[in-house]
Amino acid sequence: MSCICRDCLGGMSPGPRPHYPSLPRYPKGTSPEATRKARGSEVKALFSVVGMTCAACAGSVEKAVKRLPGIQEAAVDVLNNTALVLYYPSFVNEDKICEAIEDAGFEAKLIKLEMNDKTRQVCRISISGMTCTSCSSTVESALQAIYGVQGAQVALATEEAEIHYDPSIVTSHQLLETIEITGFEAKLISLGEGISKIELQVDGIKVGQSIRAIANTLEALPGVQDIETFPELNKISISYKPEMIGPRTLIEAIESSGSAHFKAMIYPEGEEDTHRQKEIKQYYKFFLWSLFCTVPVFLTSMVLMYIPGIKKVLDVKIVNKLSVGQILRWELSTPVQFIIGKRFYIGAYKALRHGSANMDVLIALGTNAAYFYSVYIVLRSATHKDFKGTDFFETSSMLITFILLGKYLEVLAKGKTSEAIAKLMDLAPEKATLLTLGEEGNVINEQEMDSRLIQKNDLIKVIPGAKVACDGVVMWGQSHVNESMITGEARPVTKKKDDAVIGGTVNVNGVLHIKATRVGSESALSQIVRLVESAQMAKAPVQKFADRISKYFVPVVITLSFSTWLAWFLGGKFHRYPRSWIPSSIDSFELALQFGISVMVIACPCALGLATPTAVMVGTGVGASQGILIKGGHALESAHKVNCIVFDKTGTLTVGKPVVVSTKIFYKMLPQEFYELVAATEVNSEHPLAKAIVEYAKKIREDEENSTWPEAQNFASLTGQGVKAVVRNKEITVGNKSLMLDINIAIPEEAEVALAQTEALAQTGILIAVDNEIAGIIAISDPLKPGAREVISILKSMGVRSIMVTGDNWGTANSIAKETEIETVIAEAKPQHKAENIKDLQASGYTVAMVGDGINDSPALVAADVGMAIGAGTDIAIEAADIVLMKSNLEDVITAIDLSRKTFSRIRLNYIWALGYNVLGIPIAAGVLFPSTRFRLPPWIAGAAMAASSVSVVCCSLLLKNYKRPKKLDILEIHEVRVE
């Protein structure tokens, strides 16, 4: 947005921008109690605002934001193109703030969100009965309107809702009630991110005893969050904090409660079908019954009428012109319309009651028009001797039959889009062997049990060939573990005492005793599953397009349908087209009615609603199977646009395991003495280079077993430069050249020469100063990752520019860049400077991805359009990154971008199909081809086409499951080298 103001025209810098006071912080009519509860739950959000040119622009943005209810404070920085907003999430969310900024004429994007975790909880709810985007939008709007809900996402494809709310204001039961009031069935799946859930069957409850008494006993236990009882099934569902209590403790509490003898066990999984399986069976059963009734209706109206003997029987008149065939068709189509098709009436009623219109409304209107017109024909035939008319019972019954077939195939296909999560969950073994130790530490008992009963600090035995039951630490034994199912890394990893293991991985050889450290929802496998689930819940920005269309789709279609009927009816009544156009079996009213019904049933809002989420579900699932965790549709959409990648050096382009390769001492001291001073200083630092120096110092000291160093006083860490401390009354400074120059330490010529030689070999030169004099140089090498050069070359061929940003010196950075053929290098950059460099690239028009280790690079990962955390291993909870690469392989960067491009091209194809289908189908159904070709779509064929459109969109998305990474990456496996 360009704006005209005196400052701009005069060429002067913008003056002080006006400060707009916040308008009422709470919505009108908010009770004092509600405002009191809102305090303390403030959220701080930082937005990127593109398009501001002067103070007047900043003022417009600030004013637009402060107009919203629930805004406590807003500050706009025109120089950095950002807006910092403090608001109450009970009244407004970040999406509404972005919309307000966009309405003011600028582009807005959320950069960072800081929430008070104490006032935030997350729950996932399964919702059944949604048929199209209109349904999911209705539920989402109802949830977001609840006071205390900070955000809600409803996914049509997964039929689930993820809700962020303040548990002190609203409960999960109130959320369930709201969804049910909206007209859909709701069931709680999980409660809280750090909360596990288990379902127990309680046997031994006698008549008259209440399962609620057991629930009261459990509620008193520490760590128990929520309890749901099912008396008719003798089942209790318990949500609990795994770090405070475990499932075995819960079972013991049940079995010891009261004087009764109860027996508790994990509820058998096979006894209750999942919602998806139930839905598939239900649609299949309805389709079969509908088909059973519809086939005779179709035969009597379309086929048997042309067989002379049978035609004579069907044409037998009962009363006046009422024939046997009409009565038969009426009797068979009525249960299809009102019993099998009842779900469409219910869905239409619920939608209309809440002021929205969905697919069920179109189906109910179309089938009712055909059915009740046919009933009118039958009654008229029975009461008039000379009346001659044709019924359309086959139209309504065949419509419902084909729609049910389409829904059955759609649900079947949608189930396959979430197979990735099912496969991940199946990685956990069913059984585990619990060890009991004696006082002397020897094993005195082994017990096989359900792996879901494992609690924190349990000792678990894992035999060769068995799966590791939970995350833990090896206490005894040595083996190799195949972690490919979690990290995608095919090579077995050696495991010995004190090494960490991941649940779901396979023990290749050797017996291991593992101490459980993370169980239930805390485990790496559960976190991966949750991350993939959240990714599949999140809407891609392109989905907003379908959401906007869905608001007006059904009303527009109903208007078009009525207009079509009216146009053809009036055209026939006033003889605007020849009588020969009308088939002999029907009149002009019936022809117009068929055109109107065809328009109504061929339009399909479902295909539009499923175009994005199904592709995102399959794409994120495929990524997870290859060790690439994509955090939702937004990350996918941004990644496909990436044309510039910024690489961190250490741990990204290089192996990340630096080692000391040479030392030059200019001071008169022995190497042991020199390294003792350096190690005593560096042992306080967490930097990888510091650890390399300390490890090397341990090797050259005489007493290698002694791990203690002299005490360092006045230790100070200077980010991006080095460290300082006083050791043995000597001031020790360890760092790079810029640090020495900043504190005015002269660098002698021989040190400059040695530093240049070190950097020419792609090594990092660390300067050591003792009492403000350069005492030596330590050369540290971090070898380049195998295939790094090839990866940069492939990215170049994909049209992606590669840039390296590092805090290391220019010499080392240029050497690494030369090896990898990266043309642009930014060296000696502090963490905050990396983020600024990325913003400069974005301002130049690039869509930037940042690839880093997810720790020191957090500011840059947040600033980038797509943040990729590489080498995350089991630490998958990297909030800053949009994409988490579980392996340390650079080629996964290419795979992530290629997968996002393939997924987004599939989304485009889905939209082209869904929109093209409606754009072409509706005019054809309305009869635009009829005058020239006499071609028309009977309503039942239009219904079949509508059902087929949704199935085709889902199947198009499912083709992504065949995704193969680029063939160019296969050559990298030949050159693979590993550094242990």
pLDDT confidence of residue 876: 42
Q: In angstroms, rounded to a whole number, what is the distance separating the alpha carbons of residues 747 and 739? A: 11
- Assess if residue 776 is contained within a domain: yes
What's the mean pLDDT in 759-780?
87
Q: Is the pLDDT of residue 877 over 50?
A: no
pLDDT class of 260 with cuts at 50, 70, 90: low
Mean pLDDT of the chain: 81
What's the mean pLDDT in 295-310?
84
Smallest Cα–Cα separation from 514: which of 522, 503, 523, 524? Answer: 503
Long-range CB contact pairs, 208-212, < 8 A, 24+: 209/260, 211/236
pLDDT confidence of residue 898: 93
List, for residues 637-660, the tens digit of each pLDDT value: 889 999 999 998 877 888 777 888
Do 820 and 686 sit in the same domain of this protein? Answer: no
pLDDT class of 878 with cuts at 50, 70, 90: low
Q: Is the pLDDT of residue 180 over 60?
A: yes
The CATH number of whichever domain residue 516 belongs to comes to: 2.70.150.10
Residue that wins the pLDDT comparison between 604 and 595 = 595
pLDDT confidence of residue 229: 81
List, for residues 504-524, the tens digit of each pLDDT value: 888 988 899 999 988 877 777
pLDDT confidence of residue 924: 92
pLDDT confidence of residue 562: 93
List, for residues 148-175, the tens digit of each pLDDT value: 888 888 888 778 888 888 887 888 888 9
pLDDT confidence of residue 29: 47
Smallest Cα–Cα separation from 675: which of 570, 768, 750, 541? Answer: 768
Question: Which residues are part of the catalytic machinery?
Answer: 648
Residue that wins the pLDDT comparison between 284 and 807 = 284
Query: Could you tell me how far CA 295 lies from the centroid of its own chain?
Result: 44
pLDDT confidence of residue 91: 78
pLDDT confidence of residue 286: 93
pLDDT class of 21 with cuts at 50, 70, 90: very low
Residue that wins the pLDDT comparison between 74 and 118 = 74
Q: Are 381 and 375 a contacting pair, CB within 8 Å? A: no
What's the mean pLDDT in 756-772?
86
Q: Is the pLDDT of residue 37 over 70?
A: no
pLDDT confidence of residue 118: 52
pLDDT class of 16 with cuts at 50, 70, 90: very low
Q: In angstroms, rounded to a whole number, what is the distance separating the alpha carbons of residues 850 and 882? A: 10
Do 309 and 341 sit in the same domain of this protein? Answer: yes
pLDDT confidence of residue 871: 65
pLDDT confidence of residue 488: 57
- Assess if residue 26 is contained within a domain: no
Q: Are 311 and 325 a contacting pair, CB within 8 Å? A: no
What's the mean pLDDT in 1-30?
41
Residues sharing a CB contact under 8 Å with residue 656, sequence separation 6 or more, in sequence order: 650, 688, 782, 853, 871, 888
Residues sharing a CB contact under 8 Å with residue 52, sequence separation 6 or more, in sequence order: 1, 58, 61, 76, 78, 81, 106
What's the mean pLDDT in 738-743?
86
Please count the structural domains in the chain: 7
Do 125 and 242 sit in the same domain of this protein? Answer: yes
Residue that wins the pLDDT comparison between 812 and 75 = 75
pLDDT confidence of residue 474: 92
Least confident of 130-139, 209-218, 280-289: 209-218
Most confident segment among 57-61, 294-298, 874-878:
294-298
Q: Is the pLDDT of residue 271 over 60?
A: no
List, for residues 327-336, the tens digit of each pLDDT value: 999 999 999 9
Least confident of 20-34, 297-311, 558-572: 20-34
From residue 879, give the alpha-carbon distance in Å to each of 108, 150, 570, 883, 899.
21, 19, 63, 10, 21
- The residue among 111, 134, 151 that closes a domain is 111
What's the mean pLDDT in 556-570?
92
What's the mean pLDDT in 535-560?
79
Record the tokens describing residue 643, joined without a space.
Answer: 């044309």
pLDDT confidence of residue 99: 87
- Assess if residue 1 is contained within a domain: no
pLDDT confidence of residue 568: 93
Q: Is the pLDDT of residue 666 over 80?
A: yes
Smallest Cα–Cα separation from 161: which of 187, 181, 198? Answer: 187
Q: Is the pLDDT of residue 498 over 90?
A: no
Q: Domain of residue 336: give its range.
A: 275-418
What's the mean pLDDT in 677-706?
81
pLDDT class of 564 with cuts at 50, 70, 90: very high
What's the mean pLDDT in 280-296?
92
Do 515 and 572 sit in the same domain of this protein? Answer: no
Do 556 and 678 sit in the same domain of this protein? Answer: no
- Assess if residue 16 is contained within a domain: no
The CATH number of whichever domain residue 832 belongs to comes to: 3.40.50.1000
Type and span of the H or E element at 443: strand 443-450
Q: Is the pLDDT of residue 606 over 80?
A: no
Q: Is the pLDDT of residue 184 over 90?
A: no
Do 689 and 723 sit in the same domain of this protein? Answer: yes
Do 305 and 413 sit in the same domain of this protein? Answer: yes
pLDDT confidence of residue 927: 92
Do 411 and 464 sit in the same domain of this protein? Answer: no
List, for residues 423-456, the tens digit of each pLDDT value: 777 778 888 999 988 877 788 888 888 888 888 8
- The residue among 272, 300, 317 that closes a domain is 272
Q: Is the pLDDT of residue 25 over 60?
A: no
- Assess if residue 32 is contained within a domain: no
- The residue among 272, 288, 314 that closes a domain is 272
DSSP codes, 586-623: S-HHHHHHHHHHHHHHH--HHHHHHHHHHHHHHHHHHH
Type and span of the H or E element at 556: helix 543-573
pLDDT confidence of residue 631: 81
Q: Is the pLDDT of residue 881 over 70?
A: yes
Smallest Cα–Cα separation from 260: which of 211, 197, 332? Answer: 211
The CATH number of whichever domain residue 720 belongs to comes to: 3.40.1110.10
List, for residues 67-113, the tens digit of each pLDDT value: 888 888 888 887 777 888 988 877 788 888 988 998 888 888 887 76
Q: Is the pLDDT of residue 899 over 90?
A: yes
pLDDT class of 38 with cuts at 50, 70, 90: low
What's the mean pLDDT in 214-237?
82
Do 126 and 86 sit in the same domain of this protein? Answer: no
Do 854 and 947 sit in the same domain of this protein? Answer: no
Q: Are 73 and 22 a contacting pair, CB within 8 Å? A: yes
Do 153 and 237 sit in the same domain of this protein? Answer: yes
pLDDT confidence of residue 116: 57
Do 251 and 133 sit in the same domain of this protein? Answer: yes
Would the CA dihedral through 548, 188, 623, 523 be positive or negative?
positive
DSSP codes, 51-108: ---SHHHHHHHHHHHHTSTTEEEEEEETTTTEEEEEE-TTT--HHHHHHHHHHTT-EE
Q: In angstroms, rounded to a whole number, what is the distance separating the alpha carbons of residues 276 and 157? A: 11
Q: In angstroms, rounded to a whole number, what is the distance separating the alpha carbons of residues 483 and 701? A: 37
Q: In angstroms, rounded to a whole number, what is the distance separating the alpha carbons of residues 164 and 657? A: 40
The CATH number of whichever domain residue 186 belongs to comes to: 3.30.70.100
Please provide residue 174's backbone torsions phi and psi, each rounded to the nearest 5 degrees.
-65, -35
Q: Is the pLDDT of residue 39 over 70?
A: no
What's the mean pLDDT in 929-953?
84
pLDDT class of 972 with cuts at 50, 70, 90: low
Q: What percent of the chain has pLDDT over 70?
A: 88
What's the mean pLDDT in 375-383?
88
pLDDT confidence of residue 843: 87
pLDDT confidence of residue 136: 84
From residue 502, give the alpha-carbon distance in Å to each of 339, 620, 668.
52, 21, 50
Smallest Cα–Cα separation from 767: which of 788, 741, 786, 791? Answer: 741
pLDDT confidence of residue 706: 61
- Assess if residue 424 is contained within a domain: no
pLDDT confidence of residue 11: 35
